[in-house]
Structure formats: C-alpha cells, structure tokens
C-alpha cells in the first residue's frame, strides 16, 4: 500500500474516531439534559396540580376535570390522584406509549426513561391524597433524534471536507515523492531529470536534494564515459587534420564492406592523390600544404557524402591520399562523381579555398561481396596510376565484367523489382542473434529479405537494395516486409528484428502507414523490434517523435551498425532503445587488435551506465566470441552462430 493511501486512511480513521467520540458525548449530554427536564416537568406538574386540588379534594367531578385539563395540556404518560387512606386511585389518566418518527433502535439505544414527580394534597393540616405524574418522553426523544441527525450530518459533512482537504494536502506534500519515482523510472529509460522545485517540508527537501544530486552524478558519469569513449574513437580512427577517418578505420571498413555477407553491397572504391604535396610543402610551407589538404577533404565530403552513405566512409589514408568507399554505387554514378570531382578540384583556387589549384588524380575500381580487400586496393591503385600516366582526364575507372546475371542492367532490375513488389515475390530469411554467454539461447532473429528472380533463384539484399533505393522504392519494400513479418509472427512465439530504411523515416505518409500497420497488431509488440542504421538516423526531434509513436503502438526501436558516431549516444540515452548493435568493422579480429577492444570496452561502460544492452554484429571466429563474452556484451550475431536461412 502506498504511503499516500496509508496516511489518507489514517487521517480518515482519526476523523471517524474523533467525530464518533464527539457525537457520542454530545448525544449523552443532550440525553442527560432531557432526563432532568422530564423530571422537572413531571414534578412541576404534580406540585401545581396538588395545590389546585387542595380546595376541591372533596369534589370528584372537579378533581377529574382538573386532572383532565392538565393531562391534555402537556406531554404526560400518566397522571394519578391516589387516596392516601385507601390507596385507591381517585382519578387516573394514561396515554398511549407509542413514539412516532423515532426508530425503535434509537429509543432502545438512548434508554431515556420517563420522568416522574409526586405531590401531597392536604385538607388543612391533614394529608388526604397523593398526585403522581409521569412525563411522556415522546417529545424529548423526537427532539433528541432530530438533534442527533443534525449533529451526525454536520459531523459527516465536516469529515468529508476534512478528508478531501487532507487528501489534497497530502497529495501536494507527497508530490516530490511522485517526482522522485518519475526520476527513478526516467533513469531506467536513460533520462536524467532533476526536480525544479524543492518542497518546503525540511525532511522532504533533504530527500529531494539528495535525489537531485544522485541524478546529476549519474548524468555527469555518463557524459564523462561518453566523452572518454568519443575521445578514444577520435584518437584511434580519425585524422587530426581533416577530421576524416584515418587509414586504420578505412582498412576496417574496407574489410567489412567487401566481405561475403547477406547485406554486403557491391560498390566502388575511389582513390584520390594530390600530386607534389611534398614540393608544395617545401616551396610554400606546411600551412599552405595543410590548407590544401583540408580544402580537398571538404570538397570530398560535399561531393561524396551522398554516395558514401556516411562521412566515415571518406578517409585520408596518408599525406595527400584520400579514399572513398561507396557501397551500393553503380557505374553511372561513379563516372558522374569522378567528373564532378575533377571539375571542382580545378576550381578550388578560383573559389579561394586554397592558394593554388591542386593537381589531383583519381582511380575508381568496382567491387562485389566476396572480393579480396587487397585485390580491390590493387585495382584502385592501378586505375590511379593509369590516370596519372594519361594526364587528361585526371581520373580513370577500371572496367570489370557484369556482376551476376543482371549486372548493372537498369531496365532488368527495374522490371524484376517492380514485379516483386507488386506480387510480393520476396522471401524472408532469418539470422539468429544469441546470448554471448549462452549461445544456445536465441535473443531474437534478424529478418533479411531476398528477391526471387525469373529462374526461381534468390538474390541477397546486398545486391538489390541499392537498386530499390535508386528507384525510390525503399518505402514500398519496407511496408511489404513489415506486412510479411507481422503475418509470420502469428505462426510462432519467437522474437524478430526488422530494419527500416531512411526513406520510410523521412516520408511522413509512409511512416504513418507503418505505424498504422503496427497498431493493428498490438499483441505482437513485445516480439518485434524495429531497427534503423546509424547512418540513417534522422534529426533528433524526428527520432524522438518516431520512438514515441512506436512505443504508443507497443513496439520498440533499436540502432544497428553503431560506432562511427559515438558522440550521439548522449542524445539516444532518453529514447528507451531496446539495444545497440555494434558495427561489425569494430568486431573483426577484436581478439588480435587491442585498439578495437579498448574502444568497445569504453562503449560498453557508457552503455552499461544507462542500462542499454549491446549486441555485436558479424562475429565470425571463436576468438572474437570469447573476447566479447568476457566483456559482458549482451548478444552476438554472425556466421559463427548461423547464416541467414528460411524459417525452420
């Protein structure tokens, strides 16, 4: 029972006891007063009648007349005139004993006895008769009953008003405790709230102050862990001059993106080299060379970020050499990007970005999932060398055969995917996500899609998703997948996780349709988690709105491919995310590369401080799994624990 209820009940019991005692005392006082009045009334009537009868004691008719007159003029139970000599009644009058409008139980409980009085009638000095008068309690009981009802009504009214006033006062006084409960619950949702107003009650004031101090301490600790982790990430994976990712991070991403995985996409690798940077450094000084490198980096970010998905895929690998990894890019976009970059590089001097226009060459090489990262780098470097040897144009793109049967046939992909979306020719594949310490325990299954081509073969998502994005059909694909997953959930009791694309998040109509589809199945909420990629995160206000709408529908949100933008974890703290999935590039060879382990440990500390579970993606070796289990990572996902497969 809550403290408010206990105090409220205690106040009500106190009021009941106090008012009941007051009522009983008042009733008893009135009863005693009425008893005295009845006795006095009877005695006065007896005395008065005795005096009146003294002169007419020998006239029976007059005696009866006088007794009748007094009996009819008041409330009497009986009046008797008794002869003292014989003891016989000369005159006797009695009234009915019934009492109207007063409950019998009240009469019995009150115990109000009739009042009696006696007086002697004399003939001279001789006593001849005795007058006996008994007052009827009818009038007194009626008045006492009305008085009791009035007192009871007043006491009840006062009690109700006092109880309501006491309840309101208690609620106001205990409001800080309710806010403290909200603070504790907010900490569980990764929010840090402080009470803006301190109560006036000294005891509660001290408690609220202590709670605020604890919340501020937790918030400071979380921010400190976040800053430490972000600083570690910057030192390990970011170029200090340009702010781009460094060679170490580029190698991690290159290895991860060209690996043969379900969601790996074909794309292009671009290498850019600024010529004669050392000579520029000697002729004009280090500041001019640094300014040139920064200007080229900013140009790459502006031109390449739409294709590279995230700024972290644009790297400065050494000196004046840059690399851009563009998963999902097709040849047409690659050639257009190279042309735009060449034009923009020539215009750097005229725009004032740097003192001299740089001489830069570019080489592009396509890749597909399963390629060797070293082979891909060799192809890109070969293209760069050919561009340097050719002079103009300043870029070169390595030609390769078609990837798969469809290759980059725009019309074939359009026809295949449009038909698949219309007729629902997508198959659901599932990859288990297991507990890191107990791999036999499945936390949930990650849902992946494959499209069925004209030959009945399934094409993995990494190949067709870039085309779906290119055609602007990502929202259609998300809604179709969601409908299939909701239907599939009704056939078993396992948990699933489904990815939402950035197109759905940024399209209000598509997002509304998604939320409506979820609201139609509220019972499935605990078993379906929607995931969004770190590179697809919308603005904070939109993300908060999305989280709130999903939670109102009974579903939760999670973040996958996390790690490149660790500084945003502070903004994610209060969203109540289900979990974070660490990008596989930080997991690959974590048992051999200490810098990755240090970074993941820092992420784990920050996430643990806000009770946010971590799941590692792309775990492929027993050594990686062992390290992650020792670090108390919640879950793991990867080929080591099962490839994507149809539902068993």
Our CA angle for 353, 358, 360, nearest 5°, is: 130
Q: Which CATH superfamily is domain 247-397 in?
A: Reverse transcriptase/Diguanylate cyclase domain (3.30.70.270)
Residue 281 sits at φ, ψ, to 5 deg, of -65, -40
The per-residue pLDDT for 480 is 94
Choose among 484, 483, 500, 553: nearest CA to 525. 553
CA 224 to CA 569: how far, in whole Å? 12
138 token code pair: 């009818």
Instruction: Say if CB 38 and CB 137 are below 8 A apart.
Output: yes
From the first residue on, what is the mean pLDDT of each consecutive set of 10 residues in the chain (648 residues)? 71 78 76 76 79 76 80 76 79 72 74 77 79 78 79 80 79 72 68 70 76 79 75 82 89 80 78 83 79 88 74 85 88 88 77 60 87 86 85 78 53 89 90 93 94 83 84 92 94 93 88 92 92 84 86 91 74 79 89 87 80 90 92 91 89
509 token code pair: 């109509």
Residue 47 gets the label, from left (phi > 0), alpha (psi -120 to 50) or beta, of alpha
Residues 6+ apart with CB under 8 A from 385: 363
CA 432 to CA 438: how far, in whole Å? 13
- Cα 198 to Cα 187, 207, 284: the distances in Å are 20, 10, 63
Residues 6+ apart with CB under 8 A from 560: 499, 531, 532, 533, 534, 581, 617
Query: Which DSSP letter does residue 58 get?
Result: T
The per-residue pLDDT for 402 is 37
For CA atoms 413, 414, 420, 421, the dihedral sign is: positive
Instruction: Say if CB 398 and CB 376 are below 8 A apart.
Output: no
Choose among 75, 52, 222: nearest CA to 121. 52
Residue 264 Cα to chain centre, angstroms: 34
In angstroms, the first-to-last Cα distance of the chain is: 48
Q: Which residues of 307-317 are buried (b: 16+ CB within 10 A; e: fewer)?
A: bbbbbbbbbbb
The DSSP code sequence of 415-445 is HHHHHHHHHT-EEEEEEEEEESS-TTSEEEE
pTM over 0.85: no
- In three-state secondary structure terms, 1 is coil
**Structural fold of domain 410-641:** TIM Barrel (3.20.20)
Query: Which DSSP letter does residue 102 get?
Result: S
Radius of gyration of the chain from its Cα atoms, rounded to whole angstroms? 48
Tracing tokens 């139980």 back to the chain, one arrives at 105
**Structural fold of domain 3-161:** Translation Initiation Factor IF3 (3.30.110)
Choose among 596, 568, 570: nearest CA to 583. 596
The per-residue pLDDT for 353 is 47
Tell me the residue ranges of DSSP E strands in 46-106.
Answer: 76-83, 89-94
Domain-wise residue ranges, the chain: 3-161, 247-397, 410-641
- In three-state secondary structure terms, 449 is strand
State how beta strands 614-616 and 321-327 pair: unpaired
CA 479 to CA 512: how far, in whole Å? 11
Q: Which residues pair with 397 in a beta bridge?
A: 364
- Cα 307 to Cα 273, 339, 530: the distances in Å are 19, 14, 25
Query: Which DSSP letter does residue 583 get?
Result: P
CA 182 to CA 600: how far, in whole Å? 31
For 14-55, how does the pLDDT look when each residue is reduced to its tens digit (9 = 90+)?
877 877 787 778 777 777 777 777 778 778 778 887 787 777
CA 344 to CA 338: how far, in whole Å? 10
């Amino acid at each position: 029972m809550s403290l408010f209820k206990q105090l409220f009940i205690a106040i009500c019991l106190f009021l009941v006891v106090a008012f009941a005692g007051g009522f009983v005392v008042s009733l008893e006082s009135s009863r005693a007063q009425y008893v005295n009045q009845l006795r006095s009334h009877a005695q006065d009537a007896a005395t008065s009648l005795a005096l009146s009868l003294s002169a007419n004691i020998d006239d029976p008719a007059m005696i009866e007349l006088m007794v009748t007159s007094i009996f009819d003029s008041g409330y009497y139970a009986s009046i008797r005139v008794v002869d003292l000599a014989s003891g016989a009644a000369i005159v006797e009058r009695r009234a009915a004993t019934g009492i109207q409008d007063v409950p019998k139980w009240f009469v019995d409980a009150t115990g109000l006895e009739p009042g009696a009085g006696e007086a002697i009638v004399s003939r001279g000095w001789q006593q001849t008769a005795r007058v006996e008068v008994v007052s009827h309690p009818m009038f007194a009981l009626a008045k006492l009953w009305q008085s009791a009802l009035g007192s009871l009504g007043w006491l009840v009214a006062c009690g109700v008003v006092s109880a309501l006033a006491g309840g309101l006062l208690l609620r106001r006084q205990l409001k800080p405790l309710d806010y403290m409960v909200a603070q504790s619950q907010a900490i569980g949702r990764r929010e840090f709230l402080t009470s803006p107003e301190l109560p006036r009650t000294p005891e509660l004031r001290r408690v609220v102050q202590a709670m605020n101090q604890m919340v501020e301490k937790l918030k400071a600790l979380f921010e400190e862990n976040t800053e430490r982790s972000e600083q570690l990430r910057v030192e390990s994976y970011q170029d200090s001059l340009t702010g781009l990712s460094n060679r170490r991070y580029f190698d991690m991403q290159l290895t991860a993106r060209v690996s043969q995985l379900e969601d790996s996409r074909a794309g292009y690798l671009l290498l850019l080299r600024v010529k004669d940077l050392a000579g520029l450094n000697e002729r004009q000084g280090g500041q001019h060379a640094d300014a040139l490198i920064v200007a080229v980096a900013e140009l790459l970010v502006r031109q390449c970020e739409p294709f590279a998905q995230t700024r972290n895929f644009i790297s400065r690998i050494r000196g004046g050499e840059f690399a851009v990894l563009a998963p999902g890019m097709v040849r047409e976009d690659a050639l257009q990007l190279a042309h735009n970059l060449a034009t923009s590089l020539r215009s750097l001097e005229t725009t004032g970005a740097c003192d001299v226009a740089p001489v830069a060459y570019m080489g592009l090489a396509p890749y597909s999932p399963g390629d060797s990262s070293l082979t891909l780098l060799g192809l890109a470097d070969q293209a760069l060398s050919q561009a340097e040897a050719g002079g103009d144009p300043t870029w070169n793109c390595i030609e390769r055969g078609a990837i798969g049967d469809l290759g980059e046939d725009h019309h074939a992909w359009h026809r295949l995917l449009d038909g698949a979306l219309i007729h629902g020719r997508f198959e659901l594949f599932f990859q288990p996500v297991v507990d890191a310490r107990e791999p036999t325990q499945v936390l949930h299954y990650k849902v992946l899609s494959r499209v069925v081509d004209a030959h009945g073969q399934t094409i993995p998502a990494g190949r067709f998703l870039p085309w779906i994005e290119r055609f602007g059909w990502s929202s259609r694909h998300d809604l179709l997948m969601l409908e299939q997953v909701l239907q599939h959930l009704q056939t078993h009791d396992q948990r699933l996780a489904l990815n939402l694309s950035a197109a759905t998040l940024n399209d209000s109509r598509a997002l509304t349709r998604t939320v409506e589809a979820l609201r139609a199945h509220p019972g499935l909420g605990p078993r379906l988690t929607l995931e969004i990629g770190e590179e697809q995160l919308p603005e904070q206000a939109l993300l908060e709105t999305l989280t709130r709408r999903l939670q109102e529908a009974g579903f939760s949100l999670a973040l996958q491919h996390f790690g490149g933008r660790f500084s945003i974890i502070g903004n994610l703290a209060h969203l109540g995310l289900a979990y974070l999935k660490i990008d596989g590039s930080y997991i690959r060879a974590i048992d051999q590369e200490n810098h990755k382990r240090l970074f993941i440990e820092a992420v784990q500390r920050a996430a643990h401080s806000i009770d946010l579970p971590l799941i590692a993606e792309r775990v492929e070796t027993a050594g990686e799994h062992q390290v992650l289990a020792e670090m108390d990572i919640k879950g793991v996902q990867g080929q080591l624990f099962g490839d994507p497969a149809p539902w068993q």
